[in-house]
Amino acid sequence: MSRTAWIDFSFTPLAIALGKIAAPLCLLRWIALRRDEETYALGLLFGGAVQYVAFKRGADVHIYWPHYFAAYFALALPQLAGTVGVAVGWLVRRFRPEGVRVAGAVGVALGLLPVAAMAHDGVSSLWVWRRTGGRYDEHGSLIRSHVDLLYVIEQVVLPRARRGTPIDAHRSAPSMRRRWERLTSRATRSGSRGRAD
């Protein structure tokens, strides 16, 4: 899966568009206001962009690097909403001084409406996260969680084995070899020791 697909898979088009709109605005706010809190969203955007450009191989295979952009969006949206609210307030005061509440309502609406619009996508993706143990489904490829194997090891094998007894897996089980470090750590915490031949 390519890096651009991770972005499209991780965020809705609305979040991507708002993130692009907010980026120059966050920079202008930092230049104009010179407050520490104006650097937070920009720092996360910079970190995500560096990972995207400099660590191409890692970004191609790991889903975690878009998380920088999620935190950036969470901090940039209030900056966008606040700036629009201030701008609307300035315009309203010029024509109707008593209508300043409209500016506050516009700022709150701009901050809440995108989140409400994207909530359906977030809720509908929960089944993917649940089925894949917090991972993407890799275009339908099977992702083994080994829950059944772990259950057998922890609930059946370990209670009947003496402490320190090695647990072996036959070399013909490639998925066991790939996941053995996880099985071993779970078995070690339970009081036994794992080993794959």
Per-residue pLDDT tens digits of the chain, which is 197 residues long: 456 666 777 788 899 999 999 999 999 999 999 999 999 999 999 988 888 788 776 666 666 667 788 899 999 999 999 999 888 888 888 887 766 788 888 889 989 999 999 988 888 877 766 666 555 555 555 556 666 777 787 888 888 888 877 777 666 665 555 554 444 454 455 444 444 43
- Which residue type occupies 157? V
Confidence at residue 170, expressed as pLDDT on a 0 to 100 scale: 67
The angle at the Cα of 47, spanning 64 to 125, to the nearest 5 degrees, equals 30
Domain that holds residue 47: 3-139
Amino acid at 58: G
What are the phi and psi torsion angles at 64 (to 5°)?
-75, -25
Task: Give yes or no: residues 151 and 120 share one domain.
Answer: no
Q: Indicate if 24 and 83 belong to the same structural domain.
A: yes
Residues 133 and 149 in one domain: no
172 and 127 fall within a common domain: no
pLDDT value of position 140: 54
> Are 117 and 51 members of one domain?
yes
At 107 the pLDDT is: 86
Q: Are residues 124 and 159 in the same domain?
A: no
Structural domain count of the chain: 2
pLDDT of residue 142: 58
Q: What phi, psi does 134 have (nearest 5°)?
A: 90, 10
Question: Do 135 and 148 fall within a single domain?
Answer: no
Query: Using CA atoms, how far apart are residues 154 and 81, in angstroms rounded to an integer?
Result: 51
Give the separation between CA 172 and CA 160, rounded to whole angstroms.
25
Residues 134 and 150 placed together within one structural domain of the fold: no
- Which pLDDT belongs to residue 62? 63
DSSP 8-state assignment for residue 99: G
* Residue finishing a domain among 124, 139, 154: 139
**Domain shared by 114 and 21, yes or no:** yes
Identify whether residues 34 and 97 lie together within a single domain.
yes
Give the pLDDT confidence score for residue 4 in this predicted structure.
66
What local confidence, expressed as pLDDT, does residue 60 receive?
Answer: 61
Residues 123 and 59 placed together within one structural domain of the fold:
yes
Core vs surface per residue 52-84: b (16+ CB within 10 A) or e: beeeeeebeeeeebbebbebbbebbbebbbbbb
